[in-house]
C-alpha cells in the first residue's frame, strides 16, 4: 500500500523521516506530492535504499487559473511520476484532463456532482478520499467532512470513478498505518476493500506512469517490442 504525503518545506518532516515512519507502519511506498511552490529536495534512490520503501516523485498543482494550470501540467508531466491538482476551483478543469492523475481533496473547497464524476471516470482522473479532517479536526468540520466523503463515495460507486485514499500527512506524526485508515473508513461507512483499493491505487498509478515514460513506449497504449532473435 502507498500513501501520498507533503514533505518539508510543504510539510514539517523531511522525505527521509516520512519514509522511516511509513516503512515501520508497513507501507510499500510514498508519493511525495508537495505543492508546486514548495518542492522538496531529496534523492529518491538514496531514501529507498535506506528504508526499503518506494519513493514516488509527484506534485500537487495549486492555482486558480486553468490556463496557467494547464501549462504546469504539461511541464511537470514528464518530470514527475504522479501529477495531482489541488481541489477546489479547478475541479471541473482537472477531471477533464487525461494528463492529471489525481484530483486532491475535491470536496474540501469545492464539490463533485454527477457530471464531474462521469468526466473523471472517462479521463481516468482519480478522486481523492482525503481523511485529514476526519483524523485531525473535530465538531462541525469533522461532521461535514464525513458527509462529503459519503457523497463522494456514492458518486464513485455509481459512475465507477477511480480513486485514491490518503491521510494527507504533512509530518511523520500525522502518518497513519493502513490498519488505522481501514478502521477509520469502517467507522464512517467505507468497507475494507474500498480503503485497500484506494491505498493501492497510488502504487498502481506510479507503476503505470513509469511504464509510459519508459523508452519502450511511444504513447499510452503503443509499445515498441524487441525483434531480437534472442528474445524469442
Residue 68 in any domain: the answer is yes
pLDDT tens-digit readout, 69-111: 999 999 999 999 999 999 999 999 999 999 999 999 999 888 9
Residue 221 in any domain: the answer is no
Question: Is the distance from CB of 125 to CB of 94 less than 8 angstroms?
Answer: yes
Please state, in angstroms and rounded to a whole number, the distance separating the CA atoms of residues 116 and 155.
10
Range of the domain at 100: 2-210
Residue 133 in any domain: the answer is yes
Q: What is the DSSP letter of 190?
A: -
Predicted local confidence at residue 71, as pLDDT: 95
Q: Measured between alpha carbons, how far is residue 90 from residues 40, 69, 71, 100, 197 in Å?
A: 24, 9, 14, 12, 25
Q: How many domains does the chain have?
A: 1
pLDDT tens-digit readout, 150-203: 999 999 999 999 999 999 999 999 999 999 999 999 988 899 999 999 999 999
Looking up residue 189, the CATH number of its domain turns out to be 3.20.20.140
Predicted local confidence at residue 220, as pLDDT: 47
Residue 230 in any domain: the answer is no
Q: Provide the strand spans (E) within the chain.
A: 2-5, 29-32, 54-61, 82-86, 102-104, 126-130, 163-166, 217-219, 222-223
What the block records as the C-alpha cell of 13 is: 518532516
Residue 227 in any domain: the answer is no
pTM assigned to the model: 0.90
What the block records as the C-alpha cell of 189 is: 461507512
Q: Which residues contact 124 (CB under 8 A, 6 or more apart)?
A: 98, 162
User: In the predicted model, is pLDDT for residue 113 greater than 90?
Assistant: yes
Amino acid at each position: 500500500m502507498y500513501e501520498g504525503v507533503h514533505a518539508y518545506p510543504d510539510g514539517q518532516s523531511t522525505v527521509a523521516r516520512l519514509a522511516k515512519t511509513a516503512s515501520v507502519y508497513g507501507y510499500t511506498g510514498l508519493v511525495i506530492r508537495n505543492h508546486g511552490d514548495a518542492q522538496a529536495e531529496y534523492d529518491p534512490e538514496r531514501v529507498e535504499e535506506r528504508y526499503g520503501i518506494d519513493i514516488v516523485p509527484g506534485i500537487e498543482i495549486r492555482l486558480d487559473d486553468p490556463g496557467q494550470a494547464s501549462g504546469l501540467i504539461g511541464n511537470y508531466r514528464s518530470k514527475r511520476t504522479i501529477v495531482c491538482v489541488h481541489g477546489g476551483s479547478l475541479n471541473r478543469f482537472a477531471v477533464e484532463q487525461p494528463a492529471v492523475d489525481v484530483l486532491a481533496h475535491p470536496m474540501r473547497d469545492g464539490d463533485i456532482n454527477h457530471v464531474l464524476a462521469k468526466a473523471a471516470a472517462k479521463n481516468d482522473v482519480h478522486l481523492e478520499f482525503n481523511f485529514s479532517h476526519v483524523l485531525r479536526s473535530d465538531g462541525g468540520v469533522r461532521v461535514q467532512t464525513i458527509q462529503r466523503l459519503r457523497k463522494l463515495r456514492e458518486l464513485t460507486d455509481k459512475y465507477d470513478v477511480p480513486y485514491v485514499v490518503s491521510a494527507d500527512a504533512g509530518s511523520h506524526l500525522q502518518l497513519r498505518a493502513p490498519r488505522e485508515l481501514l478502521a477509520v473508513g469502517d467507522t464512517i461507512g467505507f468497507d475494507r476493500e474500498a480503503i485497500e483499493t484506494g491505498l493501492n491505487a497510488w502504487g498502481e498509478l506510479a507503476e503505470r506512469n513509469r511504464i509510459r515514460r519508459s523508452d519502450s513506449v511511444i504513447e499510452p497504449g503503443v509499445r515498441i517490442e524487441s525483434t531480437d532473435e534472442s528474445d524469442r
